[in-house]
Chains A and B, each alone.
Chain A
């Protein structure tokens, strides 16, 4: 009796599995035959580049398959809102997943999340020209150098391709590996290295409590290990106008500024410059000696570290207070100057308010906001 029951169970299971496979096969065939969108054309930047692609996939993955890498951190789930692209034709209807990630202005300009746009017909899009030069890289870790109690410098040597062409101020996306049940993720970090050092990428990284990627970098990643990254991304950079420049950044926000300042030294850039380095206490400062040395080398450069939480009884003789107050004290008239900021949205918003009050034209304030 029991044997017959087992045979029945096995036949039932086998039948269900067979049905499942048949349905899957049917769906695959249906997708190929019925949902066959055929070849579609993607027109990028008004005909600057045209791709003929097989329709049916997301715009993000279709572009990626054609070596055009739009930044993304969620793997195409429509949650990170990094993969924004302006779509002027063929994008279909704005989906409910996208709506909360877009401002009214972006919607008016046709901006979409490329991971949510399906290529079902010819599409016309606009992307920053810099995206064309984004590549995927393999690299090895040269060193992990502690800079403070919670910040380190990560130096990578590029393996394949062996060189990167970037502008000081741009960023890369580093790919972490799976560890302790954590998924592999992509996270953005500004490059602190000089563009002329084409074979290396340096990053300044602050440990984020429970952060998936920074925990991996600080605790798991070893010197000599291979990593993957993509880049360069971003439009934050020094302008060609030799107007006096104010730099404001602290913590890991110093990365793009450090690259810009060293690039200025290398190119013998004569513009007067001030760098306001905001930190809590002396233990949060780093590269102080290097920046002091840069004062002598750049000629017209002033380095101003400022501490907002240094105990009053320490021998610190530098500036104290919020960085916005220090800027106000040290450079009271900022008309005809440019400003370059990097940091958290709160810090950027506060600094922009102060700089505008002090006379900097809003359109001459450039920033890389941590968002």
Chain B
């Protein structure tokens, strides 16, 4: 598929950079647009939209962050804890600013294991429906995000 100069420039922002060592696509061979389409369809089949998931994950992130590193139980056997990190990371979509780097690590999510959430990854889901590429540490499978949303809302 041919890309416009704007698309090529945007795609550059998704690769490894000074802020994201592995970039936002991981080992995924799909373009960001293809990833968004596939994940959107998966969510639609589950009767959900990314913006709602993103907002819900944002509330969840805040709740875990308030515990200042202490584990928060989400459901039996599933805990989440906040890990601080100095600095900010910019959105790969130019002009959207930079987001704090600290992350929430969810461990033991059934069927998915460990899931990492950041302010930026939540923003990308909420604003763009972009869950990041497979093989990327911060990729959240839509089904995992859905499970987390439902579990944290209890």
Chain B residues with CB under 8 Å of chain A are 16-19, 21-22, 65-71, 82-88, 90, 94-98, 100-103, 137
**When the two chains form the complex, which single residue of B21, B84, B95 contacts A344, counting CB atoms closer than 8 Å?**
B84
**When the two chains form the complex, which single residue of A80, A181, A322 contacts B19, counting CB atoms closer than 8 Å?**
A80
Question: Do B137 and A208 touch across chains, with their CB atoms under 8 A apart?
Answer: no
Question: Do A100 and B95 touch across chains, with their CB atoms under 8 A apart?
Answer: yes
Question: Do A183 and B16 touch across chains, with their CB atoms under 8 A apart?
Answer: yes
- Which of chain A's residues 330-358 have a Cβ closer than 8 Å to chain B? 343-347, 350
Question: Do B18 and A322 touch across chains, with their CB atoms under 8 A apart?
Answer: no
14 chain-A/chain-B pairs, Cβ below 8 angstroms: A81-B90, A81-B97, A100-B97, A183-B17, A183-B18, A187-B87, A206-B85, A212-B19, A215-B21, A278-B69, A309-B69, A309-B70, A370-B87, A370-B101
Report whether over half of chain B's contact residues are helix, strand or loop; otherwise say mixed: loop
Chain A residues with CB under 8 Å of chain B are 73-75, 78-81, 96-97, 99-101, 181-185, 187-189, 206, 208-212, 215, 250-253, 278, 280, 308-309, 322-324, 343-347, 350, 370-371
- Given A97-B94, A346-B66, A346-B68, A370 and B85 contact (CB-CB distance below 8 Å): yes
Beyond the given A187-B87, A215-B21, A346-B68, please list 10 additional residue pairs across the A-B interface where CB-CB is below 8 A: A74-B19, A79-B19, A79-B98, A80-B98, A96-B95, A97-B94, A100-B97, A308-B68, A347-B68, A370-B101
Question: Do A189 and B86 touch across chains, with their CB atoms under 8 A apart?
Answer: yes
* Chain A residues with CB under 8 A of B82: 344, 346
* Chain B residues with CB under 8 A of A96: 95
* Chain A residues with CB under 8 A of B65: 344, 346
* Chain B residues with CB under 8 A of A209: 83, 103, 137
* Chain B residues with CB under 8 A of A183: 16-18
- Given A100-B95, A183-B18, A81 and B137 contact (CB-CB distance below 8 Å): no
Question: Do B16 and A181 touch across chains, with their CB atoms under 8 A apart?
Answer: yes
A282 shortest CB reach to chain B, Å: 14
Q: Across the two chains, which residue of chain B brings its CB closest to A181?
A: B16
* Chain B residues with CB under 8 A of A324: 68
Report whether over half of chain A's contact residues are helix, strand or loop; otherwise say mixed: loop
- Given A182-B21, A308-B68, A309-B71, A100 and B85 contact (CB-CB distance below 8 Å): no
How many Å lie between the Cα of A206 and that of B84 in the bound state?
9
Question: Do A350 and B102 touch across chains, with their CB atoms under 8 A apart?
Answer: no
Question: Do B87 and A73 touch across chains, with their CB atoms under 8 A apart?
Answer: yes
Question: Do B98 and A81 touch across chains, with their CB atoms under 8 A apart?
Answer: yes
Closest 9 CB pairs of A and B: A100-B97, A344-B84, A79-B90, A346-B65, A370-B86, A308-B70, A212-B21, A185-B18, A208-B85
- Given A81-B88, A210-B137, A370-B85, A73 and B18 contact (CB-CB distance below 8 Å): yes
Question: Do B86 and A97 touch across chains, with their CB atoms under 8 A apart?
Answer: no
How many Å lie between the Cα of A188 and that of B86 in the bound state?
8
